[in-house]
């Protein structure tokens, strides 16, 4: 007879395997497309070439991972509360603050690592984005990536494991999402945003809210800085004004996010699920299973390579 802990392990292990399959398939597809398109890279241009390589993973990796996900019973989120315009704006400010603060922590950590190792700081993701045109970033990072990532790390995961404990599920959603980014530059803000998105999905039962938030965050973290930096290359004075204005907006986001968190902290709560994991057993059930362990190994290897 299958016990509750067995169901928890099976569900989390299945999701870990789904993520592992997704990223392994993604790596194979991207390598294959890079190899095939390399002779035409110059004629295609860097933006089109990079976008084609980035997007090549989704047509194969996403269906393969979904084949695993669909074997895990889904029970859906517990809440169905709508979000009005004012509350959505407040959550977005909190997301901006989380993005800025997490990015700062990652930059400081890598600066310390650079000092200790004597190696220069190299943010591969930032360099990749800076080499792309805004239209290609809009398609790849602002539109398609948020949709796929919210389905993978929020809807698919939370629909299947939140019934065993909502707080644990939210933290795992943020942790696995951060680990999937593969570098410390993005790890901290990805974790914070992943936790926020997960809570919003559980609270609303609507994945469209987190997709919209994710798109806005990626737009602010990629398109806006690139447009400002490129404007500085043609008009230094106006560019400097735009930089100061942008940092003012981010600062307002940090302050506003802190204020909204303090004011609304009593509204943040989780249902005590009937099938919740007993205290002292959640680590073994959630983390010490085949799928999650394999995905953790994959993530650690990515971090070491980065």
Of 154 and 228, the structure prediction assigns the larger pLDDT to 154
Q: Which two tokens stand for residue 260?
A: 């909204």
State the Cα–Cα distance between residues 242 and 232, nearest whole angstrom: 9
Give the mean pLDDT of 282-298: 89
Domain limits for position 58: 4-305
The least confident of 12-26, 59-73, 77-91, 143-157 is 77-91
Confidence tier at 273 by pLDDT (50, 70, 90): low
Q: Give the torsion sign (CA, 97, 102, 103, 108).
A: positive
* Per-residue pLDDT reduced to its tens digit, 170-191: 999 999 999 999 888 889 999 9
Confidence tier at 274 by pLDDT (50, 70, 90): low
Q: What is the pLDDT of residue 187?
A: 93
Q: What is the pLDDT of residue 227?
A: 81
Cα-based distances in Å from 123 to 110, 128, 272 = 9, 9, 41
Give the mean pLDDT of 239-267: 79
Give the mean pLDDT of 276-304: 85
Q: What is the pLDDT of residue 2?
A: 62
Q: Which two tokens stand for residue 219?
A: 């737009």
The least confident of 106-110, 129-133, 148-152 is 129-133
Of 208 and 128, the structure prediction assigns the larger pLDDT to 208
Give the mean pLDDT of 119-137: 75
Of 11 and 127, the structure prediction assigns the larger pLDDT to 11
Residue 1 pLDDT exceeds 60: no
Confidence tier at 199 by pLDDT (50, 70, 90): very high
State the Cα–Cα distance between residues 46 and 39, nearest whole angstrom: 12
In 3D space, the residue among 72, 282, 64 whose CA is nearest the CA of residue 165 turns out to be 282
Confidence tier at 290 by pLDDT (50, 70, 90): very high
State the Cα–Cα distance between residues 288 and 13, nearest whole angstrom: 9
Of 38 and 118, the structure prediction assigns the larger pLDDT to 38
Average pLDDT of the chain, as a whole number: 86
Give the mean pLDDT of 50-57: 85
State the Cα–Cα distance between residues 140 and 47, nearest whole angstrom: 11
* Per-residue pLDDT reduced to its tens digit, 27-47: 999 999 999 988 888 888 877
Residue 69 pLDDT exceeds 90: yes
- Give the number of domains in the chain: 1
The least confident of 67-71, 193-197, 233-237 is 233-237
Tell me the whole-structure pTM to 2 decimals: 0.91
Confidence tier at 48 by pLDDT (50, 70, 90): confident
Residue 12 pLDDT exceeds 90: yes
The least confident of 199-213, 231-245, 269-283 is 269-283
């Amino acid at each position: 007879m299958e016990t509750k802990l067995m169901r928890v392990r099976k569900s989390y292990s299945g999701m870990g395997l789904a993520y592992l399959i997704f990223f392994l398939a993604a790596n194979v597809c991207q390598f294959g497309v890079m190899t095939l398109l390399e002779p035409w890279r110059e004629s295609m241009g860097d933006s089109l070439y990079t976008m084609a390589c980035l997007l090549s993973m989704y047509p194969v990796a996403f269906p393969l991972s979904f084949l695993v996900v669909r074997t895990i019973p889904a029970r859906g989120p517990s809440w169905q509360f709508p979000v009005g315009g004012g509350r959505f704006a407040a959550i977005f400010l909190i997301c901006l603050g989380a993005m800025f603060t997490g990015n700062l922590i990652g930059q400081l950590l890598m600066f310390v690592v650079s000092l200790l190792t004597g190696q220069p700081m190299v943010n591969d993701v930032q360099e990749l984005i800076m080499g792309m045109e805004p239209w290609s970033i809009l398609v790849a990072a602002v539109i398609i990536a948020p949709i796929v990532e919210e389905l993978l790390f929020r809807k698919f995961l939370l629909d299947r494991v939140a019934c065993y404990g909502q707080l644990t599920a939210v933290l795992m959603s943020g942790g696995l999402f951060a680990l999937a980014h593969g570098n410390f530059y993005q790890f901290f803000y990805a974790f914070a945003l992943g936790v926020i998105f997960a809570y919003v999905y559980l609270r609303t039962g609507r994945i469209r809210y987190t997709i919209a938030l994710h798109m806005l965050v990626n737009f602010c973290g990629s398109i806006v800085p690139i447009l400002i930096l490129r404007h500085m290359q043609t008009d230094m004075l106006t560019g400097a004004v735009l930089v100061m204005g942008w940092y003012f907006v981010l600062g307002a986001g940090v302050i506003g996010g802190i204020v909204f968190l303090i004011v609304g902290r009593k509204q943040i709560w989780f249902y005590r699920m009937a099938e919740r994991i007993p205290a002292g057993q959640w680590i073994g059930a959630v983390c010490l299973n085949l799928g999650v362990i394999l995905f953790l190994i994959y993530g650690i290897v990515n971090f070491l390579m980065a």
